[in-house]
Amino acid sequence: MSAEVNQGTHALWFAKGMKGIFSLPAMILMASFIGFSAFALESGFTREQAVFMTFTVWALPAKMILIGSMLGGANLAACFLAVTLSSVRMMPMVASIVPDLKTSRTPTWLLLFLSHFVAITAWVFTTQNINSVPRPFRVSWFAGFAITLTLVNTLIVAVSFGIVASFPPLVAGVLFFMTPVYFVASIWASATHSVVKVAFIIGLIAGPLFAMIEPEFDIIYAGLGGGTLAYFIDRWWFRRKIQSQHGEIEP
């Protein structure tokens, strides 16, 4: 107990997590949400709908998929499936950081609650900084950063929704485009397995291709088909190549 006292308090580490809002990933995301406000406005959504979507869906790509599917004329089931499949990518992110966050005394309900706030920005920031946080206070630190990031961006959408209408289209487009550029760079840089990079490359090619062929289900086809293809390429090409170099392939 004395060691924990010397390391600080949960409130102190929560506050330290809140300071992460001034980090480069968080600042890029906040600028991107201004661009999202412009996109939602141009797509015919109200301020209330955009704010509700930001807090409940949270992940920016999932919101873009939802709006894009709706604008493309997809029915409710297709929109639900596309967003669900998009959000499945959060599962390995949650699974990878939870062991580093929790202790034997961390309640499960708290981890489930905090999992809502896991998205690429929170995941990248956490994986880069978690080792500098004492384990007893990691949940508090993560909660401080992730919850603050969500609330601040929700407020940004509420405040900027009407303001972005006066932005030149080029400015709004640049702000919005910062997020995919950052996501592309962070996903590629944080990929530790070859299958992730293979899937990433296939997705960049298959996404625009299926958008022209079947725009209502382009994300579903590109995601399922591209991910499956990436798995087999990695399983039967790259891994076999590595195994052959080490003489591990079975006859």
- pLDDT tens-digit profile of 67-86? 888 887 777 888 888 788 77
How far apart are the C-alpha atoms of 37 and 54, rounded to whole Å? 10
45 part of a folded domain: yes
Is the domain of 18 the same as that of 134? yes
Tell me, rounded to whole angstroms, the distance of Cα 158 from its chain centroid. 21
Question: Whole domain around residue 149: which residue ranges?
Answer: 2-179
- pLDDT tens-digit profile of 153-162? 999 999 988 7
Nearest by Cα to 39 from 141, 121, 160, 128: 160
241 part of a folded domain: yes
Total count of domains within the chain: 2
Is the domain of 206 the same as that of 120? no
Q: Is the CB of residue 106 less than 8 Å from the CB of residue 75?
A: no
pLDDT for res 251: 43
Over 90: is that where the pLDDT of 111 sits? yes
Q: Is the CB of residue 249 less than 8 Å from the CB of residue 243?
A: yes
- pLDDT tens-digit profile of 12-49? 999 999 999 998 888 888 888 888 888 888 888 889 99
